[in-house]
Chains A and B, each alone.
Chain A
Amino acid sequence: MPRPSASIEDRLAVGLSERFDPVALENGSRVGVIGGGPAGSFFSLFLLKMAETIGLDVDIDIYEPRHFVHKGPAGCNHCGGIVSEFLVQLLAAEGFRLPPEVVQRGIDSYMLHMDVGTVRIDTPLQEKRIAAVYRGNGPRDAGPAPTHVVGFDRHLQDLAVSRGAKIRRQLVNQVSWEEDRPHVQCSTGPSEVYDLVAVAAGINSNVLQPIEGLEFGYRIPEAARTFICEFHLGEATIREHLGTSMHLFLLDIPHLECAAIIPKGDFVTLCLLGDKIDDSLVTTFLDAPEVRACFPKAMVPRTVCHCFPRINVKAAVRPFTDRIVLIGDSGVARLYKDGIGSAYRTAKAAARTAVFHGISDEAFAKHYWPTCRQIDVDNSIGRFMFTVSHVIQKTRPTRRALFRMTATEQTRTGNRRHMSSVLWDLFTGSAPYREILLRTFRPAFVARLGWNLVAGNVAPGSLASANGQPTNGDANGH
Chain B
Amino acid sequence: MTETNIYDDSLVYPEQLEKRPPCQANCPIGTDIRGWVGLIAQRKKLGYTRNEAYLRAWEHLTEFNPFPATTGRVCPHPCTVECNRTEKDGPIAVNALERFLGDWAIKKELPTPKLESDTKHESIGVIGAGPAGLSFAYQMARRNYQVIVYEKASEPGGMLRYGIPGYRLPKDTLHAEIQRIVDLGVEIKLNATVGESVSVDQIRSRHDVLFLGIGAQLSRQLGVPGEDGGGCWTGTDYLSCVNRGQPADLGQRVAVVGGGNTAIDAARAARRSGADVTVLYRRTRDEMPAIGSEVDDAMAEDVRFEFLVAPIRIERRDESIRSVVIQRMELGPPDTSGRRSPRPIEGSEAEIPFDSVIVAISQVPDWQHLGGLNPSGDRLKTTQSGQVANTLWAGGDTLNPGIAGLAIAQGRKAALDVHARLRGLPQPEDGDGSATPVARVKPDYYEHQDPLAVPSRAVGTWLSEPDREIHQTISERAFLEETSRCLSCGRCFGCEHCWTYCNPGGFTRLEEVQPGTYFSLSIEMCEGCRKCVEVCPCGFLSVQPQPV
Contact = CB atoms under 8 A, between A and B. Distances in A.
A316 B445 CA distance: 30
B531 to A, nearest CB: 4
Interface string B479-497: 0000010000000001111
A154 to B, nearest CB: 13
Interface in B435-466: 442, 444-447
A304 interface: yes
Given A171-B495, A171-B496, A66 B6 contact: no
A387 interface: no
Contacts of A286: 2, 6
Interface in A277-304: 279, 282-284, 286-287, 300, 302-304
B380 interface: no
A74 B535 contact: yes
A207 B500 CA distance: 6
B504 interface: yes
B104 interface: no
Given A207-B500, A303-B6, A169 B495 contact: no
B352 to A, nearest CB: 57
Interface string B1-20: 11010111110000000000
Interface in B203-240: none
Interface string B282-320: 000000000000000000000000000000000000000
B529 interface: yes
B6 A302 contact: yes
Given A169-B447, A188-B484, A205-B501, A282 B6 contact: yes
Given A66-B535, A283-B1, A206 B499 contact: yes
Interface stretch (A108-116, A305-313, A407-415, A419-427): A305-313
A73 B529 contact: yes
B4 A283 contact: yes
B530 interface: yes
A65 interface: yes
A389 interface: no
A187 interface: yes
Interface residues of B, number: 33
B467 interface: no
Contacts of A283: 1-2, 4, 6
A231 B476 CA distance: 53
A303 B527 contact: no
Contacts of A282: 6-7
B496 A308 contact: no
Contact of B504 (A73, A169, A284, A308): A308
Interface in B495-543: 495-497, 499-505, 527-531, 534-535
Interface in B1-57: 1-2, 4, 6-10, 45
Contacts of A189: 447
B6 A168 contact: no
Contacts of B45: 187
A166 interface: no
A237 B449 CA distance: 47
B332 to A, nearest CB: 44
Nearest to A305: B9
A67 B529 CA distance: 18
A309 B1 CA distance: 25
| Secondary structure of the B contact surface, majority rule | loop
A204 B6 contact: no
Contact of B503 (A66, A75, A207, A309): A309
Q: How large is the interface on A (under 10, 10 to 19, 20 to 34, 35 or more residues)?
A: 35 or more
In this complex, the member of B7, B444, B495, B497 whose beta carbon has the largest number of chain A beta carbons within 10 angstroms is B7
B534 A70 contact: yes
A206 B531 CA distance: 14
A170 interface: yes
A33 interface: no
Contacts of B504: 308
A229 B7 contact: yes
Contact of B496 (A187, A307, A310): A187
Contacts of A173: 496, 500
Given A171-B500, A310-B503, A73 B534 contact: yes
Nearest to B527: A308
A207 B502 CA distance: 11
A204 B500 CA distance: 8
In this complex, the member of A170, A188, A304 whose beta carbon has the largest number of chain B beta carbons within 10 angstroms is A188
Contacts of A279: 4
Contacts of A206: 499-502, 505
Contacts of B6: 282-283, 286, 300, 302-303
A4 interface: no
A255 to B, nearest CB: 17
A72 B530 contact: yes
B503 A308 contact: yes
Contacts of B445: 65, 169
A110 B8 CA distance: 28
Contacts of B442: 70
Interface in A71-128: 72-75
B7 A306 contact: yes
Contact of A187 (B494, B503, B505): B494
Contacts of B1: 283-284, 287
A284 B496 CA distance: 36
B260 to A, nearest CB: 41
B547 to A, nearest CB: 12
A304 B7 CA distance: 7
B500 A302 contact: no
A189 B495 CA distance: 12
A308 B446 CA distance: 27
In this complex, the member of A67, A74, A204, A304 whose beta carbon has the largest number of chain B beta carbons within 10 angstroms is A74
Nearest to A225: B503
A66 B4 CA distance: 32
A74 B531 contact: yes
A75 B534 CA distance: 8
B447 A204 contact: no
A72 B504 CA distance: 18
A306 B501 CA distance: 15
Contacts of A308: 503-504, 527, 529
B503 A307 contact: yes
B494 A307 contact: no
B534 A74 contact: yes
Nearest to B5: A302
A65 B497 contact: yes
A407 B301 CA distance: 89
Given A302-B7, A308-B504, 8 more contacts: A70-B442, A169-B445, A173-B496, A282-B6, A284-B1, A305-B9, A306-B529, A307-B529
Which 5 A-B pairs give the minimum distances between C-beta atoms?
A74-B534, A73-B531, A303-B7, A307-B529, A302-B8
25 contacts: A72-B534, A73-B531, A74-B531, A75-B534, A140-B530, A140-B534, A169-B444, A173-B500, A187-B45, A188-B447, A188-B484, A207-B500, A225-B503, A283-B2, A283-B4, A284-B1, A286-B2, A287-B2, A303-B8, A303-B9, A304-B9, A306-B7, A306-B529, A307-B503, A307-B527
